[in-house]
Chain A
């Protein structure tokens, strides 16, 4: 069974009873289906993106996969083990990074946090040393190991957290928003590292994100969840087609002008003083559009925006092309 799916979900549901205030003392109960019958398989060594709007059920799924939450219904297996029943045993085989919750020790140097991981997970000394060396090299942690965590920047801390989740050689790594709030350099380092780990060790990776670039650069397969249901499972190209997503060229002109017209393949979607927004298809290169604008308009500055994940999903959903 583990041949076809390292992670297996069949009809998994998670229902919460939510109590809401409905007056001074009265509380209303109602049921929320955070995850509503999800099924998928992830093979060993795959790197899969798991995306969806806020409150779609991403984090709930991850919490069930790690054994934190017990599913209300359905069957769930990770490496042949039921996570909620054998949570502590499974913990040795999984690594988890919660984007905004550090597991590092605030007042101690990074090295001390790693030492605790080594002892807690009983990682053999030699293996620990080689793992740490590799993480330090790939995540550029060399100068940070002896700095108290409270003095690290958000990006440095996230890199430190990711390394901490990998020191015990987990077979699967769950990342919940690993690049949220990071600067460009840190994002690039994190992505490069994940690619490396996946290729080198065959670690299975499941990551949730709001940044479509993460998915584009890391995953060939992406699953989209919305309202607790899987609405897409497949390649990223298919997602783009399904969502008919567009990139945006933002141009700053020398002065406020009427909407730009006559640029092939692009249309102006918004004007705000001297700044204008032009939408164009994701598959198309931005260069000819920029050239066409620069030729006829007084161009001061420009930037290209990648399609926003929420946009893509919203469009895909509106188009009724979900699975």
Chain B
């Protein structure tokens, strides 16, 4: 009797997905899925247009006030940690743009813990798209272009005023610095999200490394205790976001006296951190799927 309801074989033969997608096609597919979800969030945002305009402006102004504080400092002094205002603007603009980009692309990964708690995380696992992609695109907030544009503005102002003799090679170096910096912060975001599979309530620790780290990177390394500088160079290598490459651009020695080739290691550090964070994410996801909590 178990077969009694096995009705007529499907009138619509279901289409099969293409089997054995190559790795490259998989990555392209993931990117496409990311774009699809992001587009949905952008459309959702537009349902509250007034709020969107306000938050975008807020995002721009938030980082703007941050820099206003630096300018107020410089209304009393000429140099801080040996750096002039345009030099600090270069540091500030670089880290702010990098963080803004990472925040824009996957800034809502800290919602993983909440999704696990309220059970909506499971709905992501039954879709034919990598979970990391879905989580990265979750609640995509276009308003964050506010921070990116403010950061870029300050970066450009600093780049002009800091007395760097710009060449095409140096410009390329600066662009790579910003992108590798964004990738480093992105790795921190992913690692922080993975951490939430174990401790959902500890989400805020991540902002110590992202926002706290970025605040630190706005100022010259000489301002900070040597242990702190070592920490962000060797333990959580945030120094590669802007300090190490920017010191080269400004023609200054780095306080730890690292060899010159280290200045070009930003992209490699970013790649290594992304791989590490991806691995951590995999372990976290596996842990979730075996414990369900």
Contacts and interface: CB of A to CB of B under 8 A. Distances in A.
Contacts of A199: 7-8
Given A47-B5, A220-B1, A98 B122 contact: yes
Interface string B1-24: 111111111111011110100000
B120 to A, nearest CB: 5
Given A198-B7, A201-B12, A70 B128 contact: no
B16 A116 contact: no
B192 to A, nearest CB: 22
A70 to B, nearest CB: 5
Interface string B110-138: 00000000111011011111100000000
A63 B292 contact: yes
B223 to A, nearest CB: 39
A46 B291 contact: no
Interface in B23-66: 33, 36-37, 40, 43-44, 47-48
B290 A69 contact: yes
Contact of A92 (B120, B128, B286): B128
Given A103-B123, A106-B44, A112-B43, A202 B9 contact: yes
B interface SS class? loop
A44 B19 CA distance: 22
Interface residues of B, number: 42
A201 B10 contact: yes
Interface in A55-92: 60, 63, 66-70, 72, 84, 87-89, 91-92
A131 B13 CA distance: 12
Q: How large is the interface on A (under 10, 10 to 19, 20 to 34, 35 or more residues)?
A: 35 or more
A276 interface: no
B128 A121 contact: yes
A220 B291 contact: no
B289 A105 contact: no
Contacts of B3: 43, 46
Interface in B74-119: 118-119
Contacts of A94: 126
Contact of A120 (B1, B125, B128, B293): B128
A107 B44 contact: yes
Contact of A43 (B6, B48, B286): B6
A127 interface: yes
Q: Which one of B10, B126, B292 has the greatest number of beta carbons of chain A within 10 Å?
A: B126
Contact of B10 (A17, A119, A168, A202): A202
B126 A96 contact: yes
B125 A67 contact: yes
A169 B122 contact: no
A46 B6 contact: yes
Contacts of B5: 45-47, 198, 219-221
A6 B139 CA distance: 37
A93 interface: yes
Given A108-B44, A124-B15, A127-B15, A203 B122 contact: no
A309 B249 CA distance: 73
A183 B106 CA distance: 40
A101 B289 contact: no
Nearest to B32: A119
Nearest to B33: A120
B11 A66 contact: no
Contacts of A106: 44
Contacts of B17: 89, 92, 121-122
A202 B17 CA distance: 19
A96 B126 CA distance: 7
A8 interface: no
Contacts of A69: 289-290, 292
Contacts of A121: 17, 128
B129 A120 contact: yes
Interface of A: 14, 16-17, 41-47, 60, 63, 66-70, 72, 84, 87-89, 91-94, 96, 98, 101, 103, 105-108, 112, 116, 119-124, 127, 130-131, 148, 168-171, 198-203, 219-221, 234-235
Top 10 closest A-B pairs, CB basis? A169-B14, A45-B6, A91-B128, A107-B47, A92-B17, A202-B10, A107-B44, A68-B125, A96-B126, A201-B10
